[in-house]
Each structure stands twice: as structure tokens, then as C-alpha cells.
């Protein structure tokens, strides 16, 4: 786990890609937000997996999303544990992507107290071990 | 339901988890006038050590024709009562024992089941953000509720105040001090908008319930209450189109009311799961005690205070003040509802002539991936 200025001063736990979500992580490694879409009903799937919970389809295609979204809910964490203790205060949010899904993430690069529901944000790709995770900033 | 027991301990460094389960079981069986040898159905969840029902049936020497290790977090034990009633009705068992126990306060253990979360299919997408335990997810739900409905921190604080007014009469309560709205608002922010006093206590402890077949009940001399209705529902993240403003109670509640054949006006007392203040507010809306978004108004002006409030709740002091054993409060919700129906709550908080009570459990993360369970109980002759 690394804590770098680029990570917004936050720990960046490494994900463990599996055979279902590997294309997502291949995308983030290139600085692209790549999401699965159901080939049967066209629904954009979140979290990335090879199963559509809308139509039960099991075939997906991967496409590049815009990386833009709007904050749906947010909390400023003041009391944290372990490696996150010294990072507080920091922001956890659900960001509603332009493509529909509401994804859990951190908002970085802004004063935590100034982060509000409804603000527009965009994706940034943060090194996390051998991979990159997706946080958002204004 | 013939037997209940809430372990009096809140800090149990010298007990094992299995021991807390067994002591709780002994208490509930004694309350029912039954023994371990009478048990033929056993129910436990993720807080049970080792192999769950297999380890604990072995520890306690149970001979069972039916076991159930449902896992819906803190709501499980509310659901277990419904499952036990169904199993009994199907003839699968006649004396069902439900146990909970653990020691997150002194044992250094996380919530039951937490050890499995690393293998959850969503972990690559939810484990990177520094969620500070359960409070983070509930804070996000509170954030959205405030944004959509104008709910305030003062309104959330009213819920803690009501719980503290009840806890002062419970000698076993972890926090017995009565607090004011101002004191809640002055407590340190944990994960905005939730402050320390919006959060439940972390306690060691346990509890147990005994549900029996009607032919067994008729042979027991002690007080009994009847299981009138049960409903349960997992809620999921809806393929990422998550709606944080409601819980699974929107489904579990109507199922329980329908099965019981009662209406909201019939509920004399309600045990509402209170892992956090927002849990109570949202659940009251979801169960239909008020309109969606009006929970803040509903809980103001002492509505939850017993006796006399519109809807007396959590008269033991709830998870916010009394007890949240092993980070799972469902069993204490059922226990206090049974005490109310038996007329055995503390006289200062006993609801006069309590005929019908509701107990509701919330497990997992409010509004996201979670479990809701609702139980409606009545006096023996109801």
C-alpha cells in the first residue's frame, strides 16, 4: 500500500483483479474508465462483473466511459482506523457516473468541507501497487 | 415465544464466545421452563464460533432435527424467529433455540462475519476507500436523506435523547446518562453527518430466544407471546443504481403486517434497530409509521419516549445506550418487545396494556447491501 501526494494523501490499497473484472483494471492501468455493458439488454453493469442483474445475461462487452459524474452522497471521515487514521479528514462518496451507476470512491484534491452532494467531478487514476484505482476530483 | 434472555454482561474478557452463547441459551431455556435436552431446533448466525450450528450444537450437546445458520447481519435474529415459527409449523422441530454471543469490546474481534468480507465479489470496488467500519455507509445514507428531505442533525439527536431517557432505568445499560440534543450535537464528528452519539455502543454480550410449538406452549406455566407476523428482505445495490433513501424495511414491513393482520394503529410498542440514529429514522419511514422524508418531523417532540409518546420505542435503551452485543442488535430488539408484551419492562417505561409489539432488525449497510427483518408479536390471547 502506498500513500502518495498523487493519491490525494490517502492510502491506495491494491485491488486483486480476477477473471471477471480484469478488463476494468486493464483500462485503469491506461488511464481509461472501462465498464461492462450487457450484450443482451444494453444495461451498464456495476460493480464490474460478467452477469447482468437486470436480465440475467452472462455476456458483456467493455466500453470506455466518460469518467464524468455527479456526487450522489458524501461523508467526511474524521475518525478512521489503521492506515487511514492519519489521512482523516477525507471524503468518501457515491458518484453517479454519466452512464448511470453510482460508484463508491474518494473525492480528492479539494477541501473536504467544501465537497457537497450535486457537485460535478471527474475520474483520476491513482497508482495502487501494480494497478490503478479510480478516485474523483472536481 | 416461551423464553428470552439478555446476557447482563457488557464487558466479558474472561468468557469465550461459545460460553456466552451457552450461558444465554441456559438463561432463555430456564425462562421458558425447558432444558437443553428439550431443544430439537437450533438457530445461530455469523457470530457463532467455528462451524456455526455444528460447533455450537456440539458444545451444548444438542440433538437437533433442524438447524438454521441464516446470515443477515444484525437483522438475523429477528428473521430467525420467523424461520423457527415456519419450521415448527412444518413439523420440523418443536423447541427452537436461537442464540447470539460475542465480545467485540474486549476480544478484539470485528463484527461477526467481517472476516469473510475480503472474498466478497464487490471487494475490489468497495474496499479501497477507507470506509471506517459500519458508520461510513450509514453516514452516506444520512447525507443523502438530508439532501433530499432536509432532515437535520437535531432531528437525529432526538432519537438518541429518547433512548437515553429509557436507558436511565436499565441497571445493565452500558450508557445510563440522560443526554440532551445539545450534548449530542457537541459530541465529536465521526463520519459526517454522524457524530459519536449518533452511534450505538460497542459491547460484549449475548442473548437467546426460545420459540416452541403450541402443544409445548400449553404445557408451560410461564408467560408466552405469540408470533403474529414475520417479513424479511435483503436489499441490494440494484446494479449500481443504488437508492440510499430506503432500506429493505419497505418490503419486510408490509409482509409482516399482512401476515399478522394488524395495522400501524395497532402497534403499542416498537423495537426499532438503532445501530445509528439514521437507522431508526429511515426505518420508521420505511415501515410506514410516517411518510417517506417525514421521519425527522415524526421523531421530534418526544414521539419515541415511553410512556406517552406516539410510538414508544427501545425501552431498554436500545443499541444507542443499552447494548449492541457482538455488533448485532436484532436479538435485543426481540427481547425488549417480549418484555413489553409480558408487562416486564421497567415500570417507568412499560407501555400500559401493551397488546401488540413490533421488532425490526437491520443488518449490513443501510440503504445498500443489507438485510431487513420485521416481526409482529402479540399477547398470548391475541
Look up the CATH number of the domain holding residue B235.
3.40.47.10
pLDDT given at position B115: 56
Q: What are phi and psi of A73, to 5 degrees?
A: -155, 150
C-alpha to C-alpha distance for B271 and B359, rounded to whole angstroms: 5
Q: Is the CB of residue B197 less than 8 Å from the CB of residue B187?
A: yes
pLDDT digits over B198-228, tens only? Answer: 999 999 999 999 999 999 999 999 999 999 9
Taking all residues of chain B, what is their mean pLDDT, rounded to a whole number? 95
Q: Residue B220: helix, strand or coil by DSSP?
A: coil
Q: Which of B373, B186, B173, B141 is nearest to B277 (CA)?
A: B141
pLDDT given at position B357: 98
Domain count, chain B: 1
The helix (run of H) or strand (run of E) holding residue B146 is helix B134-149
What's the mean pLDDT in B177-186?
98
Residue B192 to residue A78, Cβ atoms within 8 A: yes
Range of the domain at A90: 13-137
Q: Residue B67: helix, strand or coil by DSSP?
A: strand
C-alpha to C-alpha distance for B193 and B8, rounded to whole angstroms: 32
Q: Confidence band (pLDDT; 50, 70, 90) for B109?
A: low
Q: Confidence band (pLDDT; 50, 70, 90) for B100?
A: very high
pLDDT given at position B367: 81
Q: Which of B354, B348, B351 is nearest to B169 (CA)?
A: B348
Q: What residues of chain A lie within 8 A of the CB of B127, using their CB?
A: 13, 15
What pairs with residue B67 in β-bridges?
B42
Q: Is residue A30 part of a domain?
A: yes
What's the mean pLDDT in A70-95?
96
Instruction: Count how many Cα atoms sit within 13 Å of the Cα of residue B140 in the half-sphere of its side chain.
Output: 28
Range of the domain at B23: 3-107+199-379
Rg (CA), chain B: 19
Residue A78 to residue B189, Cβ atoms within 8 A: yes
Q: Is residue B154 part of a domain?
A: no
Q: Confidence band (pLDDT; 50, 70, 90) for A9?
A: confident
Q: How far is CA A63 from the centre of its chain?
A: 16
Q: Is the CB of residue A50 less than 8 Å from the CB of residue A37?
A: no
Q: Is residue A8 part of a domain?
A: no
Q: What residues of chain B lie within 8 A of the CB of A94, using their CB?
A: 140, 144, 242, 244
Q: Confidence band (pLDDT; 50, 70, 90) for B108?
A: low
Instruction: Work out the end-to-end distance of chain B between its first and last CA atoms, rounded to an integer number of angstroms.
Output: 13
C-alpha to C-alpha distance for B186 and B77, rounded to whole angstroms: 34
Q: Is residue B250 part of a domain?
A: yes
Q: Is the peptide bond before B219 cis (omega within 30 degrees of 0)?
A: no
Q: Is residue B100 part of a domain?
A: yes
Q: Is residue B175 part of a domain?
A: no
pTM: 0.96
Instruction: Count how many Cα atoms sit within 13 Å of the Cα of residue B285 in the half-sphere of its side chain.
Output: 18
C-alpha to C-alpha distance for A1 and B115, rounded to whole angstroms: 20
What's the mean pLDDT in A67-89?
95
C-alpha to C-alpha distance for B303 and B281, rounded to whole angstroms: 12
Q: What residues of chain A lie within 8 A of the CB of B130, using their CB?
A: 10-11, 77, 80, 84, 87, 90, 92, 106
Distance from CA of B129 to the nearest CA of A (A): 6
pLDDT given at position A1: 46
Q: Is residue A6 part of a domain?
A: no
Residue B240 to residue A46, Cβ atoms within 8 A: yes
Percent of chain B with pLDDT over 70: 97
pLDDT digits over A106-135, tens only? Answer: 999 999 999 999 999 999 999 999 999 999
Residue A81 to residue B132, Cβ atoms within 8 A: yes
Residue A79 to residue B188, Cβ atoms within 8 A: yes
Q: Is the CB of residue B311 less than 8 Å from the CB of residue B280?
A: no
Q: Is residue A3 part of a domain?
A: no
The DSSP call for residue B327 is T
C-alpha to C-alpha distance for B342 and B293, rounded to whole angstroms: 34
pLDDT given at position B74: 96
Q: Is residue A4 part of a domain?
A: no
Q: Is residue B125 part of a domain?
A: no
Q: Which residues does A88 contact at the CB level (< 8 Å), separation at least 6?
A: A77, A78, A79, A80
Q: Which of A132, A136, A135, A137 is nearest to A30 (CA)?
A: A132
Q: Residue B93: helix, strand or coil by DSSP?
A: coil
pLDDT given at position A81: 87
pLDDT digits over B116-166, tens only? Answer: 566 788 989 998 999 988 999 999 999 999 999 999 999 999 999 999 999
Q: Confidence band (pLDDT; 50, 70, 90) for A2?
A: very low
pLDDT digits over B277-322, tens only? Answer: 999 999 999 999 999 999 999 999 899 999 999 999 999 999 999 9
Distance from CA of A27 to the nearest CA of B (A): 14
Q: What residues of chain B lie within 8 A of the CB of A60, using their CB?
A: none
pLDDT digits over A18-47, tens only? Answer: 999 999 999 999 999 999 999 999 999 999
What's the mean pLDDT in A51-68?
97
What ipTM is given for this predicted complex? 0.94
pLDDT given at position B120: 85
Q: Is residue A21 part of a domain?
A: yes
Query: For residue B97, what is its C-alpha cell?
Result: 433455540
What pairs with residue B234 in β-bridges?
B371
Q: Confidence band (pLDDT; 50, 70, 90) for A3?
A: low
pLDDT given at position A5: 54
pLDDT given at position A21: 96
Q: Nearest residue on chain B to A96, judged by CA atoms?
A: B241
Q: Residue B323: helix, strand or coil by DSSP?
A: coil
Q: What are phi and psi of B319, to 5 degrees?
A: -70, -25
C-alpha to C-alpha distance for A133 and B295, rounded to whole angstroms: 37
pLDDT given at position B133: 86
pLDDT given at position B381: 82
C-alpha to C-alpha distance for A123 and B375, rounded to whole angstroms: 44
What's the mean pLDDT in B47-59?
95
Q: Output the CA torsion B109→B113→B116→B117 (10° steps).
A: -90
Domain count, chain A: 1
Q: Is the peptide bond before B309 cis (omega within 30 degrees of 0)?
A: no
Q: Is residue B176 part of a domain?
A: no
Q: Is residue B10 part of a domain?
A: yes
Q: Is residue B72 part of a domain?
A: yes
pLDDT digits over B337-381, tens only? Answer: 999 999 999 999 999 999 999 999 999 999 889 999 999 999 988
Amino acid at each position: 500500500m502506498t500513500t502518495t501526494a498523487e493519491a490525494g494523501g490517502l492510502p491506495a490499497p491494491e485491488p486483486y483483479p480476477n477473471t471477471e473484472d480484469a478488463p476494468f483494471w486493464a483500462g485503469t492501468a491506461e488511464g481509461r474508465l472501462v465498464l461492462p455493458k450487457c450484450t443482451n439488454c444494453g444495461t451498464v453493469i456495476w460493480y464490474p462483473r460478467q452477469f447482468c442483474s437486470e436480465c440475467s445475461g452472462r455476456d458483456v462487452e467493455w466500453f470506455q466511459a466518460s469518467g464524468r459524474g455527479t456526487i450522489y452522497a458524501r461523508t467526511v471521515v474524521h475518525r478512521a482506523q489503521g492506515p487511514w487514521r492519519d489521512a482523516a479528514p477525507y471524503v468518501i462518496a457515491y458518484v453517479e457516473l454519466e452512464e448511470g451507476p453510482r460508484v463508491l470512491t474518494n473525492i480528492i484534491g479539494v477541501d473536504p468541507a467544501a465537497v457537497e452532494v450535486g457537485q460535478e467531478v471527474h475520474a483520476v487514476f491513482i497508482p495502487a501497487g501494480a494497478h490503478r484505482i479510480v478516485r474523483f476530483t472536481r | 415465544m416461551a423464553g428470552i434472555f439478555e446476557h447482563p454482561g457488557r464487558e466479558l474478557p474472561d468468557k469465550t464466545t461459545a460460553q456466552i452463547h451457552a450461558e444465554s441459551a441456559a438463561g432463555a431455556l430456564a425462562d421458558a421452563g425447558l432444558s437443553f435436552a428439550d431443544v430439537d431446533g437450533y438457530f445461530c448466525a455469523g457470530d457463532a464460533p467455528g462451524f456455526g450450528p455444528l460447533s455450537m450444537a456440539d458444545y451444548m450437546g444438542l440433538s437437533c432435527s433442524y438447524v438454521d445458520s441464516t446470515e443477515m447481519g444484525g437483522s438475523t435474529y429477528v428473521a430467525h424467529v420467523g424461520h423457527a415459527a415456519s419450521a415448527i409449523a412444518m413439523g420440523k422441530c418443536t423447541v427452537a433455540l436461537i442464540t447470539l454471543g460475542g465480545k467485540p469490546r474486549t476480544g478484539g474481534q470485528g463484527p461477526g462475519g467481517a472476516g469473510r468480507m475480503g472474498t466478497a465479489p464487490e471487494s475490489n470496488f468497495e474496499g479501497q476507500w477507507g470506509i471506517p467500519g459500519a458508520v461510513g455507509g450509514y453516514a452516506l445514507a444520512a447525507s443523502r436523506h438530508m439532501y433530499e428531505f432536509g432532515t437535520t442533525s437535531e432531528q437525529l439527536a432526538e432519537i438518541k435523547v429518547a433512548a437515553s431517557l429509557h436507558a436511565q432505568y436499565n441497571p445493565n445499560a452500558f450508557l445510563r446518562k440522560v443526554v440532551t440534543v445539545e450534548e449530542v450535537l457537541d459530541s465529536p464528528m465521526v463520519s459526517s453527518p454522524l457524530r459519536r452519539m449518533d452511534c450505538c455502543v460497542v459491547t460484549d454480550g449475548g442473548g437467546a430466544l426460545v420459540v416452541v410449538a403450541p402443544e409445548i406452549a400449553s404445557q408451560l406455566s410461564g408467560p408466552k407471546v405469540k408470533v403474529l407476523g414475520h417479513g424479511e428482505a435483503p436489499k441490494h445495490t440494484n446494479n449500481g443504481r443504488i437508492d440510499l433513501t430506503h432500506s429493505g424495511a419497505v418490503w419486510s414491513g408490509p409482509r409482516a403486517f399482512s401476515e399478522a393482520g394488524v395495522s400501524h394503529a395497532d402497534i403499542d410498542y416498537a423495537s426499532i434497530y438503532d445501530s445509528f440514529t439514521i437507522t431508526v429514522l429511515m426505518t420508521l419511514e420505511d415501515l410506514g409509521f410516517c411518510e417517506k422524508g417525514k421521519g425527522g418531523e415524526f421523531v421530534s417532540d418526544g414521539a419515541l419516549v415511553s410512556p406517552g409518546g406516539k410510538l414508544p420505542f427501545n425501552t431498554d435503551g436500545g443499541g444507542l445506550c443499552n447494548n449492541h452485543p457482538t455488533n448485532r442488535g436484532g436479538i435485543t430488539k426481540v427481547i425488549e418487545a417480549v418484555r413489553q408484551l409480558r408487562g416486564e419492562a421497567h415500570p417507568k417505561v412499560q407501555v400500559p396494556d401493551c397488546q401488540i409489539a413490533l421488532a425490526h432488525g437491520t443488518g449490513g449497510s443501510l440503504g445498500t447491501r443489507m438485510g431487513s427483518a420485521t416481526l409482529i408479536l402479540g399477547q398470548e390471547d391475541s
